[in-house]
Structure 1
Amino acid sequence: MTSDRVDADIIVIGLSPAGMMAARNASRGDAKVTVIDRKEEPGIPPHPANTFFRAMIDRAGEEIDERYVIHNLRGARIVAPSGSSVVVESPGYFIDRTMFDKIYAKKLQEEGVDIRMGIEAYNVIRGQNSFTVSTSEGSLSSKIVIISDGINSKMASLLGMRPVKHPQDIAWAMEAEVNADGIGSQDLFEYYVGSIAPGWKSTYSPCGGDRATLGVYVRRNGTDVSSFFDRWVDKFKKDKGISDLEVGERKTGGDPIATIPSQVVTDGVMITGGAAGQSGIGYGMRSGQMCGDVAAEAIKKGNVSADFLSEYKKRWNREFRSEYYLGRLALETLRKMEDDEINSLMETFEDQDISDIKGSPIQKALHTGSIMLKKNPGSILSMRSIFRRK
């Protein structure tokens, strides 16, 4: 394409939390923004990611809207294979994901963003001065394309980009709503680690009354994790003494929590959210904000080169790089640990209030290490599992 005339300054592919924030912030920066998404309307069908902690949303500077909150929780219990556990006090929420998406989509429209639902992107074609996005409803053109279409991004692949360093470490997930008397009434999430869900966790998320969700997030064991889910449901019923658990429709997905962002920009293209390995609703939103801010600046300057757009990655690195790398190190250590090693490590923290560990990721890691040395020096040896070839 040789003409400078375009349908929008920026086209965002995917109405994810990261995509919505990228669109909003770019629009606030005076860019003309169009978002396309293949769903017929925001939040339908709902994305399975429906929980978050307030601290993560605080990172994005967003307010909690009670209209989408189904159940308030005070934190999470992390459970070892032995049953020993640690409680981390950190306010969290089980949300109505459809309502969440609808509320933010409406806010986008109020900011002047053009949202077009029921449109699937097929390809992104690079022209001389702009891009053409081929869709199920024809073609759209823009100066910048922001990709936020989720893990294993189809659009990123078509452009020859490799947005994450460790795609093999996506935690493939299966989740279902479950029903039983009072199952949703407790005020703690529960995360079970160890061989029950290798590489990450099994989850129990109460959502009030007689409803909850059960899920598994498994790394390095293929994309079909149904056998792990079945085993988790059986264990949950036994541990909780529930014989009449009703299990609803199973949903599948993935969490890029240990994949690490890599190539998230090239000339005229930016990638954000799950597609870029930026895991979680809150962190994805914050990453999307950075992406949108830089995109708007690029439009103003008339410079959409990879060099200019790389400011987005620089900002992300300053805020999140150490946190994500330490997180990956921790999850790789967990993946390689035997259940008895996890049990020993958990016993170290069983009576320890770790909710008050503050500071940067490095400071938190050092504080945690000092606790281990003080209470159970032998537990440090379990960390050598990171060096195992597994």
Structure 2
Amino acid sequence: MNCDVLVVGASPSGIAAATSSAKAGAEVILLDKEMGESFDHPANTFFDGMFFRAGLAVEREYVLHDLDGMRIISPGGCAIEIPAPGRFIDRSRFDALYLERAERAGVELMRGMAKKAPLAGSGRRVETDNLGEIGAQVVIDASGVDGMIARQEGLSPLRHPEDVAWAAEAVVELAGLGEERRFEYFIGSISPGWKATFSPGGGDLATLGVFVRGHGRDVRAYLDRFVEHFKKYKSADYDVREMKIVSINRGGDAIAALPDEIVSDSLMVTGAAAGMSGMAYAIRAGGMAGEVAAGAVESGDVSKRNLSPYDRLWRREFGLEYRMGRASLLTLGRMADEEIDRLAADLAKRNLALSGTFFRKGFSAGIALARARPRTIPGLIKSFAEG
């Protein structure tokens, strides 16, 4: 088999890359080992601002529950209320919808696993586990944080692979719990390096998750501890003894890993495999990659030089935002629970103007942080400079 563009991984970013390449006129194959299967994902919530920032529209077909905003909760229980509309979604329906659109655009969906993608002439020969070899002018690796294609071909797509956050998330059932109207984020040692989350999913369903950096892949112990903490936190409002765990999902999030080498001859990397965290942002990045790949194929030049506009486009649109996010996360990670409590108490007294785009929200929060706790500024600047 041969094609112009082969996308490895039917992640949101991979589907977007395949669709944009096909719409630009390329012959595209999208390859995934679980193509067509329905399974749960730790990523099932988003804020509207992130979707709008990435040029996407929120569609009702996959929305299960609407939220009014978020509540950030310090280790001592101080809560900061932030209005920011968001959605809890059906990830299986979300993925299926985008796969349907990819097929309508002309993408050929194939079930299989890519093992290697060595250079062969002006393109690459992709070795699969069940389909033989597939020849492609350009290969786009969108296979997630554990993706090996780009690494096997000599690229280091994650600048800080040690800072991938490993997640464990429980789908829970308790009468009325899913009808709450705010996401809740618990920060501090309850989930070292990032956050623990409560996401109401409508009706009686919700998810409880931990996203932990620096403590290995197996974070189930942190999830168990958070579930017990959450029960105590909600015990005044619910009979938490009746809460049942329906299922547990696991995954990795490259929230602080940042992209590094994401382009080579006939090869591109996008989405979580390239350190591009956030579902909406990953979709936007995949769209960029697909458009550039199709243009390179049409020009007859699929060299690194001719694929590099993708790298430049991404860094121009999102690079500063991701570096700011990493710096903020590292600064928070260095703070003891007691210091986080003092910071939260200071911020709770202020009127946080977190409106507009995701970038503006982050900038406004940074200004508020600097005003509330000036001592955090040197660490923030150092982390940003180190990138």
TM-score, normalised on structure 2?
0.93
Question: What do residues 75-104 of structure 1 show as CA deviations (whole Å, max 9, x unaligned)?
Answer: 111111111111221211111111111111
Q: Work out the number of aligned pairs and report it.
A: 377
1:120 and 2:118 are equivalent in the alignment: no
| 3-state DSSP of counterpart to 1:184 | helix
Match of 1:57 in 2: 51
Q: What are the within-5 Å matches in structure 2 for residues 319-330 of structure 1?
A: 319-330=317-328
What is the Cα deviation at residue 61 of structure 1? 2.4
Contact kept? 2:256, 2:325, Cα under 8 Å = yes
Runs of 4+ that moved beyond 3 A: 355-361, 363-374, 382-388
In structure 1, runs of 5+ residues without a counterpart are: 1-5
- Out of 175, 194, 198, the residue aligned to residue 200 of structure 1 is 194
Question: In the alignment, what sits opposite 2:374?
Answer: 380
| 1:214 aligned partner | 208
Structure 1 residues 372 and 255: alpha-carbon distance in aligned structure 2, compared to 1, 3 A threshold: closer
Q: What is aligned with 1:3?
A: none
**AA of the residue aligned to 1:211:** L
TM-score by length of structure 1 reads: 0.92
Change (3 A) 1:184 1:364: closer
What is the Cα deviation at residue 161 of structure 1?
1.1
User: CA deviation digits over 1:221-249, x for unaligned, max 9?
Assistant: 11111111111001001110122221122
Match of 2:329 in 1: 331
Asked if the contact 2:12–2:279 (Cα under 8 Å) also holds between the matched residues in 1, the reply is yes
The 8 Å contact of residues 49 and 358 in structure 2, kept in 1 or not, is answered as no
- 1:160-239 to structure 2, matched below 5 A, reads 160-239=154-233
Distance 1:152 1:373, change over 3 A: closer
Higher mean alpha-carbon deviation, 67-76 vs 347-356, is at 347-356
Q: Distance in 2 between matches of 1:372 and 1:126?
A: 49
Cα deviations across residues 243-295 of structure 1 (Å, max 9, x unaligned)? 22211222211110100000000000000000000001100001011111111
Change in CA separation of 1:370 and 1:219 when aligned onto 2, cut-off 3 Å: closer
Which amino acid in structure 1 is aligned with residue 133 of structure 2? Answer: S
SS state of the match for residue 314, structure 1? Answer: helix
SS at match of 2:117: strand
Aligned-pair Cα RMSD in Å:
1.9
Q: 1:334 to 1:32 in 2, by over 3 A?
A: same
Judge which range, 184-193 or 125-134, deviates more.
125-134
Q: Is the 8 A contact 1:171 1:254 kept in 2?
A: yes
> Structure 1 residue 372: deviation in Å?
4.7
Residues in 2 aligned to 1:358 and 1:188: alpha-carbon distance in whole angstroms: 18
In structure 2, the residue corresponding to 1:94 is in which secondary structure?
A: strand
The sequence identity of aligned pairs, in percent, is: 38
Secondary structure at 2:375 match in 1: helix
Q: Which runs of 5+ in 2 are unaligned?
A: none
Cα distance in structure 1, aligned partners of 2:367 and 2:117: 51
Supply the distance in 1 between the matched residues of 2:364 and 2:99 (Cα, whole angstroms): 41
User: CA 1:278 to 1:113, structure 2 compared with 1: closer, same or farther past 3 Å?
Assistant: same
* Residue in structure 2 matching 1:305, options 303, 306, 329: 303
1:35 aligns with 2:33: no
